[in-house]
Structure 1
Amino acid sequence: MEFCPTCGNMLQFELPNMGKSSRFFCPTCPYVSYLENRVKIKRKQHLVKKELEPIISDDDMKNAAQTEATCPNCGFGKAAFIQIQLRSADEPASTFYKCMNEDCRQNWRED
């Protein structure tokens, strides 16, 4: 969406017609902006994903209580868990689990 630099109204688009290139024009004043037919991208910006910090660290899980919960990754029957209130007070707490199997150590959560 483009706006007229002189009066501030929204510019309208006109398709190319009879050899004229496409353009933006203002319906209230004589402002016209012609568009080039070919647009070149001179530089591409590569996006880098930001590293996410875990909500619960391994130190938090060392002191956590253990329960009988089945790991969805390996099926092991014991897991450490911590409950944290992430949403409003009238919603239930979120439970974070960590598998106690030394080969797995999978993290998962239940809301």
Structure 2
Amino acid sequence: MEFCPTCGILLQFELPYMGRPARFFCPTCPYVSHMESKVKIKRRQHLVKKEIEPIFSKEDMKNAPTTEATCPKCRFGKAAFQQIQIRSADEPMSTFYKCLNEHCGEQWRED
């Protein structure tokens, strides 16, 4: 998006017409900005992959309530759970589970 440097209004785009190059123009004042025929990339921004935070921290596991839920990975019958509202208020809460089998630790959710 480009804005007019004189009045601050969003510039409109006009396609090339009868030999005139493409341009941005201001609908309220006489400002016009002609576009170059070649686009130059000034710098590239490398995205940094963020680490995903776990649903259950070590402190949460100490006080987390448990329930009889079957782990989809190891079929163990107990899991810790936590309910979190991740969508709008009129939607039901999401329940996150963590398997209590010390060799598994699988996490899953039910909406």
TM-score (norm 2): 0.66
Aligned to 2:109: 109
Aligned to 2:97: 97
Specify the alignment match of 1:69 in structure 2: 69
> Is 1:40 equivalent to 2:40 in the alignment?
yes
Structure 1 stretches of 5 or more lacking a match? none
- Sequence identity percentage: 72
The CA deviation string for residues 26-70 of structure 1, in whole angstroms up to 9 with x for no partner, is: 344332111012112132111113223324213432454543210
Q: Which runs of 4+ in 1 moved over 6 A?
A: none
Q: C-alpha deviations, 1:1-26, integer Å up to 9, x for none?
A: 43332244443322123333211123
RMSD of aligned alpha carbons: 3.3
CA distance in structure 2 between the partners assigned to 1:66 and 1:3 by the alignment: 56
Report whether the alignment pairs 1:4 with 2:11: no
SS in 2 for 1:98: strand
- Conserved 8 A contact 1:61-1:82: no
User: Larger radius of gyration, structure 1 or 2?
Assistant: 1
Q: Kindly state the Cα deviation for residue 71 of structure 1 after the two structures are TM-superposed.
A: 0.6
Query: Is the contact made by 2:15 and 2:21 (CA closer than 8 Å) also made in structure 1?
Result: yes
The runs of 5 or more residues in structure 2 that have no matched partner are 86-90
